[in-house]
Amino acid sequence: MIPPSLQPLYDEIASRFAGMSKFGTTFVPGFGNPESRLVFIGEAPGEEEEKRRRPFVGPAGRNLDRLLELAGLWRDEIFLTNVVKYRPVDPRNPSKNRKPTKREMELFLPYLKRELEILSPELIVCLGSTSAEALLANRVPMSSCNGVLIHGDPWPIFVAYHPSPLNFNQPERRSEMEEAFRYLGILLSSTGTKAVAGI
């Protein structure tokens, strides 16, 4: 669900970015359990997310569900969102997804931080380098950061590969993703979220 506390912020974002040709036409807000202590963040919605106005409902979302099970988690226990709340498209080929530019990430980052302040999570899981770099303001090489807990300010951040089909369909990469989520589950079950977050 979309928590009422976030609706004014989402209305502001929708008004601010509506009609920009470099984005799709549909605003995709965060969705999930507003009481969750865990917030998962991707980079931007894809085609299926744009159609359904929910994050992680396409192929990457189905892969994420499998990974969540390895961590002992279910969708109704977490909140999902993206840094960029519109699907980035190529104006010359609107049917094609593209990665958000650095400038686009910078435009949406203040809104993401406000979103997180309202949600007040104890732990953030960044799915992919794009979302991790947006929050940490630093380069995040996934080859060395996958499955790593970083004590960011003000939120602790667990970094994992994005569950895109491109990553998930590579056996070695998929194994690394699964290992990271198993480790996340161990952290959460053995110490509790507050302890993992260093709170």
Per residue in 172-194, pLDDT (tens digit) is 999 999 999 999 999 998 766 65
Average pLDDT, the chain: 90
Q: What is the pLDDT of residues 8-38, one digit of tens each?
A: 999 999 998 877 656 667 899 999 999 999 9
In order of their start, the domains of the chain are 4-196 (3.40.470.10)
Q: State the pLDDT at residue 199.
A: 44
Using alpha carbons, list the distances in angstroms from residue 65 to 57, 112, 123. Answer: 10, 23, 18
Report yes or no: 171 and 158 within 8 Å, Cβ to Cβ: no
Q: 97 has which bridge partners?
A: 89
Judge whether residue 58 has pLDDT over 60: yes
